[in-house]
Structure 1
Amino acid sequence: MADPDERPADQPECPSAQGAGLLPAELRAWMLMLASTGAVEQRLRTVVKERLDVSHDEFLVLCLLAEQPAGLRMSRIAELLGRPKTRLTYQIACLQHAGLVTRKSVCGDKRGVEVALTEKARRLLAESSAVLAETVREALDRFIGPAQCEAMRALLPDLAAETHAE
Structure 2
Amino acid sequence: MAARDEHPADQPECPSTEGGGLLPDELRAWMVLLAATGAVEQRLRSVVKEALDVSHDEFLILCLLAEQPGGLRMTRVADLLGRPKTRLTYQIACLQHAGLVTRKSVCGDRRGVEVTLTDKARSRLRETSVLLAETVGQALAQTIGPTQRAALCALVPDLADEAP
**Under a length normalisation based on structure 2, what TM-score does the superposition of the two structures give?**
0.83
Matched with 1:7 is 6
> What is the SS of the residue equivalent to 2:54?
coil
> Measured at CA, do residues 46 and 76 of structure 1 come closer, stay the same or move farther in structure 2, by a change above 3 Å?
same
CA distance in structure 2 between the partners assigned to 1:48 and 1:39 by the alignment: 14
The reply to whether residue 87 of structure 1 matches residue 90 of structure 2 is no
Distance 1:152 1:128, change over 3 A: farther
SS where residue 83 of structure 1 aligns?
Answer: coil
Query: Percent sequence identity over matched residues?
Result: 72
Deviation at 1:145, TM superposition (A): 1.5
Measured after TM superposition, the shift of residue 147 of structure 1 is: 4.8
Deviations 1:99-121 (A, max 9, x none): 10010000000010000101110
Q: How does 1:1-166 map to 2 (within 5 A)?
A: 6-8=5-7, 10=9, 13-149=13-149
For 1:9 and 1:107, how far apart are their aligned partners in 2?
52
Match of 2:159 in 1: none
> Which consecutive unaligned segments of at least 5 residues does structure 2 have?
157-161
Which is worse superposed, 141-150 or 67-76?
A: 141-150
**What is the alpha-carbon distance in structure 2 between the residues aligned to residue 27 and residue 71 of structure 1?**
35
SS in 1 for 2:6: coil
Counterparts in 2 of 1:152 and 1:30: CA distance versus 1, 3 Å = closer
What SS does the corresponding residue of 2:16 show, helix, strand or coil? helix
Cα pair 1:13 1:145 within 8 Å, conserved: no
Deviation, structure 1 residue 18:
3.5
Amino acid at match of 2:36: S
Query: For 1:137-160, what per-residue CA distance to the aligned partner results, in whole angstroms no more than 9, with x for missing partners?
Result: 11111122135358869x8xxxxx
- Gaps of at least 5 residues in structure 1 are 1-5, 156-160
TM-score by length of 1: 0.82
Q: CA RMSD in A?
A: 2.3
Pairs aligned (count): 152
How far did 1:16 drift? 3.2
Q: Report if the CA contact (8 A) 1:66-1:122 is conserved.
A: yes
Over residues 16-36 of structure 1, what are the superposed CA-to-partner deviations in whole Å (9 max), with x where a residue is unaligned?
Answer: 334442211110111111111
